[in-house]
């Protein structure tokens, strides 16, 4: 009985020792696993937050802007220049495009050189002849100084004439006395023959001046005018000038033309 009692006391002591041992083991492992657990949870939380922020930034486009601004070789400048390059390419394409063969009716004619006009002091109006070979015409005709309209429409008509007088031109001809140009009347008339009026001529434009030139080595005067007018197929246009013998024969200074603007 005493043995059994001793055994029971031993059992109780062993049980208490085991519980106290387990209790000691539990206290000794707590400092090791608790920081590890907290660290794992913290890392997972940070990863979760980072992934959420990354998704949010990607959806808002911020990441794309950051990549463009931080990439080398100045990509932002390349992005900004792409529209300019596209515009230049389009411009080159437009320049290569040929105009249609059936363009708007138009004509530009320089003065015909070597025209003989009588040298008279009186301001008689004379029709000018134009140079077809060095000018151009599109869907318009020309005949003996007259520009012929083939298509009805609204046209812009223009003309420029330049007059000049050299003293030594007359001095080279000893038998011819010099002409008096101290009161030279230099006028330009653009005339219109209307098919609706039985080709009757009307003065479409008129300009000029009375020049009081000195007997110097060189004198020059230019008259230029232009206007829009309704023309019909079969109409004719021509230019008359006074003192035509003083016309300058240079085509860049004396010319005549028209272009159709619309119907």
pLDDT tens track for 3-59: 555 554 554 455 545 444 444 444 444 555 676 777 777 778 777 777 776 676 666
Q: From 161, 168, 129, select the one nearest 146 (Cα to Cα).
A: 129
**What tens digit of pLDDT does each residue of 204-260 get?**
999 999 887 766 678 889 999 999 999 999 999 999 999 998 898 888 999 999 999
Kindly tell me if the per-residue pLDDT of 96 is higher than 80: no
C-alpha to C-alpha distance for 34 and 13, rounded to whole angstroms: 31
pLDDT at 58: 61
Identify which has the larger pLDDT, 33 or 201.
201
pLDDT at 223: 94
Find the distance separating the first CA and the last CA of the chain, reported in whole Å: 139
pLDDT at 75: 45
pTM of the model: 0.58
């Amino acid at each position: 009985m005493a043995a059994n009692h001793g055994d029971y006391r031993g059992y109780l002591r062993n049980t208490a020792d085991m519980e106290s041992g387990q209790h000691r083991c539990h206290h000794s492992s707590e400092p090791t696993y608790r920081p590890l657990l907290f660290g794992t949870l913290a890392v997972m939380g940070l990863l979760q937050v980072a992934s959420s922020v990354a998704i949010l930034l990607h959806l808002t486009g911020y990441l794309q802007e950051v990549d463009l601004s931080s990439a080398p070789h100045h990509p932002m400048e390349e992005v900004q220049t792409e529209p300019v390059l596209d515009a230049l390419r389009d411009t080159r394409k437009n320049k290569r495009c040929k105009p249609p063969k059936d363009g708007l009716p138009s004509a530009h004619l320089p003065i015909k050189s070597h025209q003989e006009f009588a040298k008279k002091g009186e301001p008689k109006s004379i029709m000018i002849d134009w140079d077809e070979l060095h000018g151009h015409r599109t869907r318009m005709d020309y005949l003996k100084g007259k520009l012929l309209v083939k298509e009805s429409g609204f046209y812009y008509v223009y003309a420029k004439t330049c007059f000049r007088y050299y003293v030594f031109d007359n001095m080279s001809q000893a038998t011819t006395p010099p002409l008096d140009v101290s009161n030279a009347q230099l006028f330009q008339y653009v005339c219109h023959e209307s098919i609706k009026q039985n080709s009757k001529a009307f003065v479409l434009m008129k300009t000029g001046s009375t020049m009081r030139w000195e007997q110097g080595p060189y004198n020059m005067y230019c008259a230029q005018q232009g206007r829009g007018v309704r023309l019909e197929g079969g109409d004719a246009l021509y230019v008359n000038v006074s003192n035509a013998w003083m016309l300058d024969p240079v085509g860049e200074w004396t010319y005549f033309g028209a272009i159709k603007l619309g119907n």
